[in-house]
Every structure is written in C-alpha cells, then in structure tokens.
Amino acid sequence: MINLIIGKKGTGKTKRLVEHANEAVRKSTGNVVVIVKGNHLTYDISHDARLIDIDSYGIQGVDAMEGFLCGICAGNYDVTDIFVDSTLKIIGREIKTLSEFLEKMNRLSALADTRITLLVSADASTLPDEIKAISTEV
C-alpha cells in the first residue's frame, strides 16, 4: 500500500512523517526504514528504525530511487514500512514523474508486502486524479 503525506512547505508534513514512522516502529514485527535528505531527523526518529541519509548514497532521480527502494526490499525480506521524506527533491519535481514513480512503488509494495509512505511537498489540489487514485493520504 502506498500512502502520501501531502502539503505545502510549513504545513507539518515532516512532523506527521515522524509520528507515523515512530508508531510503525512500535507496531512492526519487522524492520522500519526511514529515508531522508541529510541528518535532520536523527534525534526525532526512534533508534529502532533504520534511518538512511539518501545523500550519502548519491541517489538522484526516479530510476535511482526506484532501484534503491527495490534493493532495500530485496535485501531484507522483513521490511514492513518504508518512509521517504523529500520525495520530490529526490526524484524530480515533475508531476508526471511522480505519477510513474507511484505506480512502480505500488507494485513494489504489493510484491514485497511493504507499506510505503512518501512525503510530497505540493498543494494537494494541484495533483492530478491519477495520483489521488493510486494513493491515500495519511
């Protein structure tokens, strides 16, 4: 299942992501992965989650991000939840790219039986219907 946390800058998206990630850690019987740009959430995310600074791996663009997430799921069968902060900064800001990425992540989520939550910094009213149909907002 794919979930989106959508909102403009300053609307509390990151705070919601932290809350949901920490709740997932408490409930999960497997591993929770949180992907961020930089180390700004080091003290906010439970130490029981795997916090990954995406910049350390040089991941930029939709294809690189897709491969990275597939690798996480392939390398560790018990990942129950993946949270991604700053999705558009990583994959690119084009909405068409986001739509394609969501479709691929929806398939990955089903294949790996992993919940994927993406933080999208955008005005929800400007997103096309195909994005809203793929995901549910957390």
Fold of 2-137: Rossmann fold (3.40.50)
Predicted local distance difference test score (pLDDT) of residue 39: 85
β-pairing, 79-84 vs 50-53, is unpaired
Residue 46 tokens read as 């439970």
Closest by CA to 118, choosing from 65, 72, 75, is 65
* Predicted pLDDT at 61: 93
> Which pTM value belongs to this model?
0.91
138 residues of the chain, pLDDT tens digit each: 899 998 888 888 889 999 999 999 999 999 999 999 988 888 889 999 999 999 999 999 999 999 999 999 999 889 999 999 999 999 998 888 898 999 999 999 999 999 999 999 888 788 888 786 665 554
Give domain limits for the chain. 2-137
